[in-house]
Amino acid sequence: MQFFERLRGLLTSKGATLPEVGSLNPETLEEALILADAGPDLASELASDLRRALAKGLLSPGQERAFLREKLLAFFPKPAPAPAHRPEVILVVGVNGSGKTTTAAKLAAKVAASGGKPLLAACDTFRAAATEQLQLWAQRLGVEVVAQRAGADPGAVLYDALAAAQARNATHLIADTAGRLHTKDNLMRELAKLHKVAARAVPEAPHQVLLVVDATTGLNGLVQAREFREHAGVTGLVLTKLDGTAKGGVVLAIARELKLPVLWVGVGEQVEDLLLFDPEGFVDALLG
């Protein structure tokens, strides 16, 4: 199903659309944005923008929607063009439980479905179940995976996987990484090491570093996500569990706060439940 239709269904079933244009004023807008979980800062900022524009007579009746559409779209930075490197090296990072392993598998399925040859790397050696989970996904999808025993050096797993990707002409290497180590510093050091290992093996790798954020944790999840953005060279966001959030507006709050392009959204646990994010479709669905 198209992103737009599916998202509209999700938003409307959760009552997250904004009020009708006719009844749109700064107060109803602010309330609706807060109810949609877009966060109080964003809600008051947009309401003030609308109030100012109305006070200055900048908007004739019926122009509120177009005004808001433009403002909302500005919260989504444009993604950089897709890299043309082969293999394209993608690191999937984020806190434990955010949906990294599932997202890595879903991405591999997308690559395979579009005629590419994905290879998965189980670099979360800290959590034994993560490797098993990725192997299970790989088996189900008929995709190859490079893994080592629990506790192995994630850099060594990535090194092996990069060599395997090159030897087997994989188009994409998708590496699942750890979300928790003994300390935050350890984790960030380990991610920096993965960057180095990737860059030594493949020019300009990693080409994408996807930060997976659980949308149901809303603004609380952002505290940890900020660390990843600072230290892990993140290039884009994947917002998971959008099917489980009370309100879809959290996408706006997260994109605004992290100032990173939202590339994908997860809307379920199945392999097909990863949708390419379309900011315009999202904003149109939200504006109803």
Q: Which positions lie near ligand GDP, rule CB under 6 A?
A: 94, 96-102, 130, 133, 179, 240-241, 243-244, 266-269, 273
Rounded to 10 deg, the angle between the 250-258 and 40-55 helix axes is 90
For residue 71, the number of C-alpha atoms closer than 13 Å in the C-beta half-sphere is 19
Q: How far is the CB of 17 from ligand GDP (least distance, A)?
A: 21
Of 96 and 166, which CB lies nearer to ligand GDP in the complex structure?
A: 96
Cα–Cα distance measured from residue 34 to residue 250, given in angstroms and rounded to the nearest whole number: 10
Beta carbon of residue 179, minimum distance to ligand GDP (angstroms, whole number)? 5
Residue 30 or 243 with smaller CB distance to ligand GDP: 243
Any bridge partners for residue 120, and if so which? Answer: 145, 174
Are the beta carbons of 46 and 71 closer than 8 angstroms? Answer: yes
Q: Which of 229, 208, 253, 231 is nearest to 103 (CA)?
A: 208
Closer CB to ligand GDP, 100 or 110, in the complex: 100
What crossing angle do the helices spanning 64-73 and 40-55 adopt, rounded to 10°? Answer: 140
**Which residue number, 50 or 210, has a Cβ lying nearer to ligand GDP?**
210
Read off the tokens for 82.
């897709």
Binding residues for GTP: 94-101, 176-180, 240-243
Nearest residue to ligand GDP by CB is: 266
Question: Considering the complex, what minimum distance in angstroms separates the CB of residue 275 from ligand GDP?
Answer: 10
Cβ distance to ligand GDP smaller for residue 111 or 213 = 213
> Rounded to the nearest whole angstrom, what is the least distance from the CB of residue 139 to ligand GDP in the complex?
16
Q: How far is the CB of 98 from ligand GDP (least distance, A)?
A: 4
Q: Which helix (H) or strand (E) holds 195?
A: helix 184-201
